[in-house]
Amino acid sequence: MATKKLFCFGLGYSAQAITRDCIKAGFHVVGTTRTPENRLKLLQQGFSDVVLFDGTAPIADFLAEHGDTTHLLCSLPANAQGDAAFIHHVDAINALPNLAWAGYLSTTGVYGDHQGNWVTEETPVAPLSPRAQHRVLAENQWRSLNIAANIFRLAGIYGAGRSALERVQEGSAQRIFKQGHVFSRIHVEDIAHIVCASMQGGRNGRIYNCADDDPAPPQDVIEYAATLLNLPVPSLIPYEHAVLSEMAQSFYAECKRVDNTRIKEELGVVLRYPTYREGLRGILSAALSRD
């Protein structure tokens, strides 16, 4: 069997989960990171080849060294020009002789606000924030490749180290109530499951919503996390009285339920964590088993 090689622009939180699944599936993985500190950590974790790329200068020579790349994934944040990896390397990527698949990690923020109604991959994009507008531009860039990239629109990402459990334990969790407001979310391990399913058998140039089965009020998630930890449930704070970061304000400015039918019907995905309840229980169980 020919060797499968994944080249990953941006070995961050979600991408590392994806690459772990890919390695188990027999892929050879190489990629990029922004800082020397992160590069050292990744090499210590077992990555054989990691190069620095901060979006300001191309790494075409490094990409050329891996001309046998069969799969390419980008998980970098976008800016007003779109995606830096695409801008610097589109010609080099199109010239890869063995490239069979490409993917780009985007966000469900591109749909904008739908007042709690459901959105599918066919819903027209209507981004409200500059951050989401940049993502739309980047999506279009990656879909213009000779081998059109698959676009993965991620709902709110959580997982080990980045969940309501940690916020409750740290004392930073807020139970904010906004009438009728729900978030869709996705466990990072399910992101990996979805992306790897696309690599192994999906079509090119497809858009996939990555969300679980239960769009839920955020205050319910915090309450459940506190209950699992046997800690006091934080008091409910009316949205109008909440002190929120600019990022958090943008999340509360939009309300939608994200439909995940396509990943199930087209990729055959069965979610490992279909709701936040299974997800939080899994994170806690794994943490307790390590102690």
Which residues sit opposite 51 in a β-bridge? 32
Rounded to 10 degrees, what is the CA torsion of 271, 158, 207, 125?
Answer: 130
Q: Taking the mean position of all CA atoms in its chain, how far away is CA 153?
A: 7
Rounded-to-integer distance, Cα 195 and Cα 253, Å? 28
What percent of the chain stands above pLDDT 70? 99
pLDDT in tens, 71-114: 999 999 999 999 999 999 999 999 999 999 999 999 999 999 99
Kindly list the distances between the CA atom of residue 66 and the CA atoms of 92, 95, 141, in Å, as whole numbers in the listed order. 11, 12, 22
Average pLDDT along the chain: 95
pLDDT over 60 at 255, yes or no: yes
Q: What is the pLDDT of residue 27?
A: 92
What percent of the chain stands above pLDDT 90? 89
pLDDT in tens, 63-77: 999 999 999 999 999
> Tokens in use for 161?
């180290």
| Options 3.40.50.300, 3.40.50.720, 2.40.30.20, 3.30.460.20; CATH of 4-156+185-211+258-272 | 3.40.50.720
Residue 286 CB partners (closer than 8 Å, separation 6+): 160
Average pLDDT of the residues in 209-215: 98
Average pLDDT of the residues in 52-67: 93
Whole-prediction pTM value?
0.96
Confidence of residue 2 (pLDDT cuts 50, 70, 90): low
Ranges of each domain in the chain: 4-156+185-211+258-272
Q: What is the pLDDT of residue 47?
A: 83
